[in-house]
Structure 1
Amino acid sequence: MAKGITQEQVSAAADALVTAGERPTVEKIRAQLGTGSPNTVTRMLDTWRGALATRLSQVLALPDVPADVGQAFTEVWRLAMTHAESLAQAALAHEQNALLAAQSSLTQERKLWDIGIAEAQAQAQSADQARQVAETRLADMQRLVEQQASQVAELAQQRDDWQRRAEQLDEAFEAHKSSATAERETQAAHVRAVEDRAHAEIDRAREETKTLQAALRQKEREASAAAARLEKALDSARAAEHRATEQGTRAKTLEQQLARMDGVPSALLAAQQSLQAALERETMLQAKLQHLTKGTRTQAVVRKRKPRSMPGAS
């Protein structure tokens, strides 16, 4: 409904239309005023028509009008009223048709608005449900974000702890590496010294063995010669048994020679024992050298592997 339209404005517009020789209608009055709803204009136009008869009656009641003029004027007025009534009825019918069309349009529009409102309510309900779901998901996401933030902080703390631990292990590894290098160098120097001493002892034992072997060969040659002489003497003794009486002096001499030859096997046995002792000493020194070399290599391998196993051991 339009605002600001008064009865005086509608009446003035209707009078202006009548003065201009036009029939006052709702559309014309609204066009002339530039505003106003059809219902309001129709109601005010009916009021104007009702007041129009009163105004004409006042005009007819003027005392200065002659009777024939008054009758003529009355006839003109009756015709005008009849024509106006027919025009009013036609306008009323037109207005009613317009109102019916407007009412139908409004009814259709209201149905459309009802449908739109129902759809809007359904959409609003769906939107409210979606909002509730979104709020629930948002709360879950916020809790998840808080949990992840807590986990990130915990992981960062663990990372810092592991980083410090790694730095400590690196420092310990470097220190152990330096110590192991120094110890390995010391051990290598010790092994080289032991090897040098062992090689010197082996060389000395070999020299002694060679000397003893030469002496043994000399003793063997002497023993072979003595055995040959002994065999020859025995042969001579067996050959001369029948001449034992005549050869008493020679037998005594032979016995003396045999007495001297008894010392040869003892010397030969002593040489063999010295040679055996030298060989055993050489074997013992070689075994000791191999044991020291093997032990040194095993310790070096263990020390090389030990720094790698430190992180797992800690």
Structure 2
Amino acid sequence: MARGITEIDVHTAADALVAAGERPTVERIRAHLGTGSPNTVTRWLETWWQGLGQRLDGHQARLAVPEAPEAVARAAGQWWGLALEAAKASLEEELSVERAALQADRDALLKDREALDAEATTLRSENETASTAKRLAEAQSTELARLVSRLEAQIEETTLQRDAAIAREAEIVASRQALEQRFQALQKSADAEREGFLQHIRAVEDRANAEVDRTRQEVKELKIQQIELVKAHTAADKAMQLLLDQAKAESKDAQQELSLQRTRTEAAESRLGQLQEVSDAVEAAIRRARASSGSAAGRKKTFSPSPKKRSKIAGSK
């Protein structure tokens, strides 16, 4: 019930409807009262119908005229009984209609209740599904937060590694530049040594050509020395060119293989050692050549032929 109503309220409303010339029904009583559930109105309306006969009998007694003739009183009683029977028949018909309507309302309410129960079951199922989805979403959110923290740590570690790699790259570039400068210095030194060596060879050749008339034997020895020196010079040039090509290739590989920094540094140090060995070998060859030229000059001085032999040589020419 929207608002509590009593039996007196329903009976008063039914009396008011009858006084207004209307037949009291559940809907009219509810409309008259402005509230009340159909079940409650129907129950109190039945008690109103049940007490209607007694109230009509009392009303008939109040309307009886003691001085009226017996025929009139009998006729009035019969008329009143017929009226009561007609009223009862009409009321019973109305009551059956109202009961049928009430039963239809009850059936509709039952259907509505069943529909509401089904909807409530569906809502409970959806609520459970939503709760499960919520728990799953919370778990996923926790897992995502953990993954985000892990990714942030990895990003920080990667940043540190990148900074270290950049610093290491700068060190390798500086080391490469130092190696290139050292190589250039070695190359300049080797070029200077080679130029001096060539000048020395030219001087030896000049002296040998000047002394060719003195002795063919000395010329042969000088030619042999010249051939050896040229071979040594050629070998030195080839070694220097090979080392230059290797150094250029290694310099190019150093730019493409920054990730192999330690290996590259060790290889560069190994190549530097080879350059030093070659430089030492070139210097040793130069010293041997100088020593050989010095010994040849000494032999020239000690092998100075006598005037007679010189004349014989001139005669043979």
Give the letter for the 1:298 counterpart.
L
* Structure 2 Cα separation of the partners of residues 63 and 28 of structure 1: 29
2-side partners of 1:84 and 1:114: how far apart?
43
1:89 matched residue in structure 2: 92
Indicate conservation of the 8 Å contact 1:191/1:293, yes or no.
Answer: no
Q: What per-residue deviation string (whole Å, max 9, x for no partner) do you get for residues 11-34 of structure 1? A: 222122222222222222223233
Q: How far does residue 141 in structure 1 lie from its aligned partner after superposition?
A: 6.0
* Contact 2:30 2:41 (8 Å CA) reproduced: yes
Q: How does 1:26-105 map to 2 (within 5 A)?
A: 26-62=26-62, 65-68=65-68, 71=73, 74-105=77-108
Kindly indicate whether the alpha-carbon contact (under 8 Å) linking 2:211 and 2:219 is maintained by their aligned counterparts in 1: yes
Please name the residue that 1:165 is paired with: 165
How far apart, CA to CA, are the structure 2 residues paired with 1:63 and 1:24?
A: 24
Q: Which residue of 1 aligns with 2:232?
A: 288
Post-superposition Cα deviations, 1:93-142, rounded to whole Å, max 9, x if no partner, equal 11122123223333444444454455555x44xx6357436635752563
Distance in 1 between the 2:53 and 2:8 partners? 17
TM-score where L is the length of structure 2: 0.67
Letter in 2 for 1:296: M
**Number of the residue aligned with 1:206:** 205
* Pair 1:138–1:294, CA change in 2 (3 A): farther
Matches within 5 A, 1:96-245: 96-120=99-123, 123-124=125-126, 128=128, 131-132=131-132, 135-136=135-136, 138-139=138-139, 142-143=142-143, 145-147=145-147, 149-170=149-170, 172-213=171-212, 215=213
- Assess, with a 3 A threshold, how the Cα gap between structure 1 residues 77 and 38 changes in structure 2: closer, same or farther: farther
Q: How does 1:272-283 map to 2 (within 5 A)?
A: 272-283=216-227
Say which one has the larger Rg. 1
* Residue identity matched to 2:183: R
Q: Which residue of 1 aligns with 2:297?
A: none
- Partners of 1:151 and 1:17 in 2: how far apart? 82
Contact 1:23–1:87 under 8 Å retained in 2: no
Asked if structure 2 preserves the Cα contact closer than 8 Å seen for 1:10 and 1:29, the reply is yes
Unaligned runs of 5+ in 2: 263-317
Are the counterparts in 2 of residues 208 and 278 from structure 1 also a CA contact under 8 Å? no
Query: Alignment identity in percent?
Result: 26
What code does the residue aligned with 2:227 have? T
Report the TM-score when normalising by structure 1.
0.67
Counterparts in 2 of 1:194 and 1:139: CA distance versus 1, 3 Å:
same
> Is residue 180–residue 303 contact of structure 1 (8 Å, CA) maintained in 2?
no
C-alpha change, 1:22 and 1:142, in structure 2 (3 Å) is closer
Q: How big is each residue's C-alpha offset from its partner over 1:168-216, in whole Å with a ceiling of 9 and x where there is no partner?
A: 331x233223322332332232122112212212212222332344x16
SS in 2 for 1:201: helix
Is the CA contact 1:2–1:37 (under 8 Å) kept in the aligned structure 2?
Answer: yes
- C-alpha distance in 2 between matches for 1:199 and 1:74: 169
1:154 and 1:119 mapped to 2: Cα distance?
46
For residue 5 of structure 2, what is the aligned residue in structure 1? 5
Displacement, 1:286? 1.5
Q: Is the 8 A contact 1:205 1:281 kept in 2?
A: no
Aligned counterparts of 1:36 and 1:200: Cα–Cα separation in 2: 134
> What displacement does 1:90 show?
0.7
